[in-house]
Amino acid sequence: MPLRIQSMNSKKLLNDLFQAYYDARRNKRNTISALKFEVDYEKKLFELYEEIRNGNYQPGESVCFISFYPVQREVFAADFRDRIVHHLIYNYISPLFERQFTPHLLGRRNTFSPKRANGSNGKYCPKGAGFINDAYSCREGKGTSYGIKRIDHFIRSCSRNYKKDCYILKLDIKGYFMSMDRFILYDKIEKTLPKISGGDVDFDIGLILYLIRKVIFHDPTKHCRVKGKKSDWQGLPASKSLFCAKPNQGLPIGNLTSQLFGNVYLNDFDHFIKYNLRIKYYGRYVDDMVLVHQDKEYLRFIIPKLKKYLRENIDLELHPNKVYLQHFSKGVNFLGVIIKPYRVYIRNRIKGNFYKKIKAWNNYLKEKENKLSKEEARKFLSCVNSYLGLMKHYKTRKIRRKMLAKNLSVYFWNYFYIAENYSKLVLRG
């Protein structure tokens, strides 16, 4: 039975689907699945449009593999056709969560109060609100560099430019993506979308909820092509594999929607921390959370509150070995850097991974008799510039210069040149 497209006409849906296609191919244009789709892409988009309109859309086969950088993890890469649907969903609902920021209810007073922590002194946790400013992942204008700057700012502000004592509570959720309950996630989205939209949208929420259901409740482990060796999975904890997840739990790492839904799943928790527990200095990237406060005992006091909220509301638990509470002078490990007073360091793991990547590319170039195709050159450029892009924000010029000038094979300079003071490589024309 065809879906009833109420708030949007068919032409708008088709136009939005084309825009989602352009967004999906932006960084995937040279992949095999993207190139296959690009052949007669207009016809394929019309077919996808008809499937969506008639309620016949079904997600396709994913490719499952293990990525070892920066850490070992299991990735499910959706078919390019499904990536278009993911971008369509993202383009519709992400702006709704972005435009509904909750008013800043925190005053100057930020002291220990068990009564306040129990939430008995007022309603500070507005369910159905949009994302807080300091949720950094998968959001335009934010990301890792923004998150690092914000946490650095929090520490400086809370310590009055390092003159007063303050403390940092660092938390991590155990097996986050593999532990998300799909029913809880969908229920959150279904209840929140009408609230944050206020009826002021130019698309049919029912249609988008239909697509969201298809994506959330699709189990990629039932229909996937495994790439790599079985030995690649050795050493990967069961809590980090969809193949070991409980029924109706877990989202595939690698999908745009998984990143977006990851923010939605913890959104009420973010508001609980900010407005029930009144933690002014709080930031989160995926499931890595940092809380900064002048009172060490208050931070210690709220840890059980956080555990209880996660367990009772969204069926998650804090990683027992990744709860750190320490003075700001000792620094905090966040998003690949160590944030300390007056300085930010790149972690040795980042430098080590960069070196391993360069070494692997040197060996690859040697096997190819020092010749690269255009696609291989673009892959190399993307890989190296991702590291340089992170490192350039910190005092790493000597490290970057050494990596490029001393460790990189000289044959790469036939294809690239260094620009902006060792902060990026550029493909020769």
**Contact criterion met (CB below 8 Å) for 75 and 253:** yes
User: 419 and 277: one domain?
Assistant: no
User: 94 and 117: one domain?
Assistant: yes
Domain termination site, one of 346, 363, 397: 346
pLDDT-derived band at 44, boundaries 50, 70, 90: very high
pLDDT-derived band at 7, boundaries 50, 70, 90: very low
- Kindly state whether residue 296 falls inside one of the protein's structural domains: yes
Q: How much is the pLDDT for 151?
A: 98
pLDDT-derived band at 2, boundaries 50, 70, 90: very low
138-169 confidence digits (pLDDT tens): 999 999 999 999 999 999 999 999 999 999 99
Token pair in block for residue 224: 């996937």
In the numeric block, the tokens 């890595």 are attached to: 288
User: 100 and 213: one domain?
Assistant: yes
Query: Residue 76: is its pLDDT beyond 60?
Result: yes
User: 253 and 387: one domain?
Assistant: no
User: 232 and 243: one domain?
Assistant: yes
Per-residue b or e along 204-238, where b marks 16 or more CB atoms closer than 10 Å to that residue's CB: bbebbbebbebbbebebbeebeeeeeeebbeebee
Q: How much is the pLDDT for 129?
A: 76
User: 364 and 294: one domain?
Assistant: no
User: 320 and 402: one domain?
Assistant: no
- Kindly state whether residue 7 falls inside one of the protein's structural domains: no
User: 369 and 327: one domain?
Assistant: no
Residue 387: which domain range?
347-427
- 366: exposed, middle or buried (C-beta count within 10 Å: 0-12, 13-18, 19+)? exposed
- Kindly state whether residue 32 falls inside one of the protein's structural domains: no
Nearest to 222 by CA among 52, 84, 76: 76
Q: How much is the pLDDT for 100?
A: 53
State mean pLDDT over 402-422: 92
- Kindly state whether residue 19 falls inside one of the protein's structural domains: no
State mean pLDDT over 259-271: 96
25-34 confidence digits (pLDDT tens): 987 776 788 8
Specify the pTM: 0.86
- Kindly state whether residue 243 falls inside one of the protein's structural domains: yes
State mean pLDDT over 79-87: 96
Question: What average pLDDT does the chain have?
Answer: 89
Q: How much is the pLDDT for 109?
A: 41
User: 399 and 290: one domain?
Assistant: no
Domain termination site, one of 346, 379, 398: 346
User: 320 and 364: one domain?
Assistant: no
**Contact criterion met (CB below 8 Å) for 105 and 95:** no
86-123 confidence digits (pLDDT tens): 999 999 999 999 875 444 434 434 444 444 455 433 34
pLDDT-derived band at 216, boundaries 50, 70, 90: very high
Nearest to 316 by CA among 170, 171, 174: 174
User: 322 and 357: one domain?
Assistant: no
Q: How much is the pLDDT for 104?
A: 42
- Kindly state whether residue 332 falls inside one of the protein's structural domains: yes
Residue type, 85: V
pLDDT-derived band at 69, boundaries 50, 70, 90: confident
Query: Residue 239: is its pLDDT beyond 50?
Result: yes
Token pair in block for residue 159: 């310590």
- Kindly state whether residue 78 falls inside one of the protein's structural domains: yes
User: 256 and 381: one domain?
Assistant: no
Domain termination site, one of 346, 367, 388: 346
State mean pLDDT over 306-331: 97
- Kindly state whether residue 4 falls inside one of the protein's structural domains: no
Instruction: Say how many domains are in the chain.
Output: 2
**Contact criterion met (CB below 8 Å) for 135 and 263:** yes
Q: CA 416, CA 428: separation in Å to the nearest integer?
A: 5
Q: How much is the pLDDT for 27?
A: 73
Q: How much is the pLDDT for 127?
A: 58
